[in-house]
Structure 1
Amino acid sequence: METLSTQGLAMPRLGLGTYRMTGNDCARAVEHALSLGYRHVDTAEMYGNEDGVGAGLAASSVARDDIFLTTKVWHDHLTRDGIRGALEASLEKLKTDYVDLYLVHWPAPDMDMGEVFETMAALKEEGLIKAMGVANFTVDLMKRAVEEIGAPIACNQVEYHLKLDQSKLLGYLTTKGIPLVAYVPLGQGRLADEEGLVAIAEKHDASPAQIALAWLMDQPGVAAIPKASRNETQQANLDALSIRLDDEDRALIAALPKDVRYVDPDFAPDWD
């Protein structure tokens, strides 16, 4: 599995997203993914499935130190005590002593960003997290975190797929050597009927979803965490890593609409 180097860690470029997986189904999906070769597992306190993820990790024969585990703190816990309490609860559910990556899940307009990253730095010093990062941060928010505060941000996890332009954000992250981790990388299954994508898929004897994933993997500095609860979907996503797009494929994808956003809650920042 190819990795991205960030803040002293090696982040596998393809991870397992677990949003909306719960209980035993979540545990089985995580255990099976690890048996296939996945080494990057993503969860969050808001998902309500950290116990299932933890059970899957515990059931696996893969050593904990060989797994890149990410979880996230919800936006209403972004205080010194709130972050610490949330992480302690997450670690207990995950049945682990540390997480590799701890993210601010969503920015909050009233958060004290300096306090947030100061708290995360203390958690890192204590060995409870290996690196800190963010999710759903705009370029302006990234500039505050990186340039004003000097936080060692390991990644920005955002919605990114072939129908949403993230070139401005990706350009900024690239200049700072910060990976972009794409969630909803397959458009929540809505890309299967895109005519241009179907044509590319037929050409490569692949599915449109595999082409969408291959397009992300074609870009330096980008990782992806597609949700995959079914065994065959997990394998299909791994198989997508071997697809090599050509310039004709890229041109067809570039012609698709680039203004489709599937995740935009009321508390989201101004995406500018």
Structure 2
Amino acid sequence: MGFKQLGSTGEEIPAIGLGTWEIGGRETPDYSRDKENIKILQAAIEMGYTHIDTAEYYGGGHTEELIGEAIKTFDRSKLFITSKVWPTHLSKEELPKALKGSLKRLGTDYIDLYLIHWPVPDMDLKETLTTMAELSKAGYIRYIGVSNFDVALLKKSLLISPVPIVCNQVLYNLEDREPENELLPFCQENGITLTAYTPLKKGSLSKHTEKVLKKIAKKHNATIYQIMLSWLISKDNVIAIPRSTNIQHLKENLEAADIILEPDDLQLLD
């Protein structure tokens, strides 16, 4: 299992975490598979997924509730939990309430990494980041970060925030390469972790990409999805949060951290 430094904090976190979107619902709660989902989350933690990514928006809060139930039997200090605050809760009045709700649903006293889920045009960035910093200093959040921020907004955030911005979570995979233009180099230069969400592109790959992946996967006795993950985390400052509720796929995703791609593999993929 590979680990990487979170931002410039000195703290090592797993290079491959567990995404939880659609576990327990999408925009609204889905209670139909609760027992099964809790068992899957617990099995994932047992096999080594100690970084769990979620958000208050997922399942209308129910995803956090499922995670809270699943982690009860584990040592909280050995888990790294990321959650995200929704754009409607970014004011100094609403943000503490949103955080309190997430903490209650997760059944924990603190969140390791708390992110602004999406930027919106009318948000008061200074107010939001100042409030997050205050909550961090009060011990409710260990680190703060952002999600879906472009370089201009990330630069602005770094200048405004009273505490370090350690992470930016964005869409990034073998075919969605926009972050490589400006964002990833900026994060690498400034000691910010880039978390790749949808790292497997939900399986919808072009025929050309699949052909290249199959060639490299065969060479490493791996799946094409393991190669996709290995390629992502081979890059400085990049970690990934694939989602799966299939035990075998969860295991394979985690094992991708042990695959060492060779220079010619990386050249083909890049």
2:16 aligned to 11, 14, 18, which one? 14
CA distance in 2, matches of 1:131, 1:24: 31
- Cα deviation for residue 159 of structure 1 reads 0.6
- Cα deviation for residue 85 of structure 1 reads 0.8
Identity %: 40
1:47 aligned to 36, 40, 58, which one? 58
CA distance in 2, matches of 1:198, 1:170: 26
Letter in 2 for 1:154: V
- Per the alignment, residue 45 of structure 2 pairs with 34
TM-score by length of 2: 0.89
TM-score by length of 1: 0.89
1:173–1:242: structure 2 CA closer, same or farther, 3 Å change rule? same
Aligned alpha-carbon RMSD (Å): 1.5
- Per the alignment, residue 264 of structure 1 pairs with none
- Per the alignment, residue 154 of structure 1 pairs with 166
1:50-129 equivalences in 2 (<5 Å): 50-58=64-72, 60=73, 62-129=74-141
The answer to whether the Cα contact below 8 Å between 2:6 and 2:166 also exists between their aligned partners in 1 is no
1:151–1:110: structure 2 CA closer, same or farther, 3 Å change rule? farther
Deviations 1:14-34 (A, max 9, x none): 100000011333322221111
CA distance in 2, matches of 1:138, 1:171: 12
- Cα deviation for residue 192 of structure 1 reads 8.2
User: Which aligned segments of 4 or more residues in structure 1 are displaced greater than 6 angstroms?
Assistant: none
SS at match of 1:132: strand
Q: Establish whether residue 185 from structure 1 lines up as the match of residue 196 from structure 2.
A: no
- Per the alignment, residue 152 of structure 2 pairs with 140
SS at match of 2:12: strand
- Cα deviation for residue 170 of structure 1 reads 0.5
CA distance in 2, matches of 1:188, 1:21: 15
Which stretch shifts more, 119-128 or 242-251?
242-251
Matched length: 252
CA distance in 2, matches of 1:27, 1:43: 14
Q: Establish whether residue 131 from structure 1 lines up as the match of residue 136 from structure 2.
A: no
The answer to whether the Cα contact below 8 Å between 1:73 and 1:87 also exists between their aligned partners in 2 is yes
CA distance in 1, matches of 2:256, 2:42: 20
CA distance in 2, matches of 1:250, 1:145: 32
Q: Which runs of 5+ in 1 are unaligned?
A: 255-272
CA distance in 2, matches of 1:148, 1:50: 29
The answer to whether the Cα contact below 8 Å between 1:192 and 1:209 also exists between their aligned partners in 2 is no
SS at match of 2:175: coil
SS at match of 2:6: strand
- Per the alignment, residue 3 of structure 1 pairs with 4
1:184–1:44: structure 2 CA closer, same or farther, 3 Å change rule? same
CA distance in 1, matches of 2:95, 2:40: 28
Letter in 2 for 1:33: A
Q: Which runs of 5+ in 2 are unaligned?
A: 25-33
CA distance in 1, matches of 2:134, 2:123: 18
1:148–1:92: structure 2 CA closer, same or farther, 3 Å change rule? closer
- Cα deviation for residue 175 of structure 1 reads 1.1
Deviations 1:1-54 (A, max 9, x none): 413133353322110000001133332222111100111001001102110111
